[in-house]
Amino acid sequence: MKYRMKAMFFVYILLLATISFTPGECDTKVFNLKDYGAIQGGNVDISQALLKAWGDACNWKGGSKLEVPSATYLVNPVILKGPCRGPIEFHNSGTLKGPQGLRGDSWIEFQYIDGLTLNGGVFDGQGPPKQAAPGLPTLLRFTFITNSRAQLVKLINSQSTHFHLFGCKQIVIDQISISSPENSPNTDGIKIGESNGIDILKTNIESGDDCVALIRGSKDITVSGVTCGPGHGISIGSLGESENEQVEHVVVRQCRLFDTTNGLRIKTKASDMSGTVSNITYQDISFRNVDNPIVFDQNYCPSRTCRQGNSRVQIKDIKFINVHGTSKINTAVVLQCSGSNPCKGIELKDINIAYYKYQASTISNCSNVHGQSSGIQIPKPCISV
């Protein structure tokens, strides 16, 4: 009996070893870009090598890693497409540069992937533009990506939006850096649309447009520990361009904004299209020399041809909790809501925003707003119960 138990024990150990070391779905295989003929230096296009390496990594049955070695590479526009046969990591230890004068929808785009990790490196769009122009590409785009993350990535000099997520679910964006000059037009930091379950964490954004823009279809979004400036602040909208646009269940917390042209902004257009912005919480936000620290604009008009009047987009159940700092203008809180669809359920708690020149008191400007206020209130609130 004793020897039989020993024999069974050794058979068990051998079985475990066989499971652990037999090639298969649990292996992670590295696909190094240099093995595909990628030329370093940033003067020769390596897009075909990148696509070939991606194809092999994506088709590997099990975990895979596409490794970009530490060097500079020139890359023409590429679409890195799934679905893949297992989780995949794009590990960038180098700098990828886009061609100058690039036109098109996007530069580097990931599509239809479940379990992507985008890790490290620099993505240089070789912009930014000196003036707004049609056809300028997004630097990095996630399209229908799920259960994935982007971390420790540096995005610089985009010609348009730096990072655009569309149709994505359960994405973590952690400790990335975005940088373009404040006078570069339309260079949003992170733009999210038709996506849910997105977390933006511990990220620094300098841009010529919105640091974070949540457009239609954004749901269950967390923006936490973001530093924004320069830029146009953290924005929801604009909504009202098509029927039943929605942004809901958003938490913006522990964020710092400085020298931005807006702070926390919700913008909708005056149109016949209905929509909803609801269940939004802004908490523990600090400003330094920010224009328009808190602003609702339901007559948003980026051009001179917009219709003026009442917006049919309903803004409701919005909380501002412990929001403080300095405003570059005397009017620190602007809540201009629709006459036909007044804002409701607006809560102001512990608001302390001073005029930056003299640390003096500021004022509020409200219309068609219903809600409540409590705690410290600087400026004096103008919402009605």
64 forms beta bridges with 29, 88
Burial status of residue 305 (CB atoms within 10 A of its CB: 0-12, 13-18, 19 or more): exposed
Please name the residue that has the structure tokens 């070893």. Answer: 17
Q: What does the block give as tokens for 238?
A: 């604009």
Q: Any idea which residues carry the catalytic annotation?
A: 209, 232
SS3 112: strand
Give residue 249's region: left, alpha or beta (phi > 0; psi -120 to 50).
Answer: left
CB atoms within 10 A of CB 360: 10
* Partners of 363 in the β-ladder: 331
Number of H helices, E strands in the chain: 2, 30
- Cα distances from 36 to residues 54, 56, 145, in angstroms, run 10, 10, 26
CA distance 168 to 170: 7
CB 262 within 8 A of CB 290: yes
Q: What is the DSSP letter of 380?
A: P
CA angle 318-320-324, nearest 5°? 160
The separation between CA 6 and the C-alpha centre of its own chain, rounded to angstroms, equals 58
CB proximity list for 278: less than 8 A, separation 6 or greater: 246, 247, 248, 249, 314, 315, 316, 317, 318
CB 171 within 8 Å of CB 165: yes
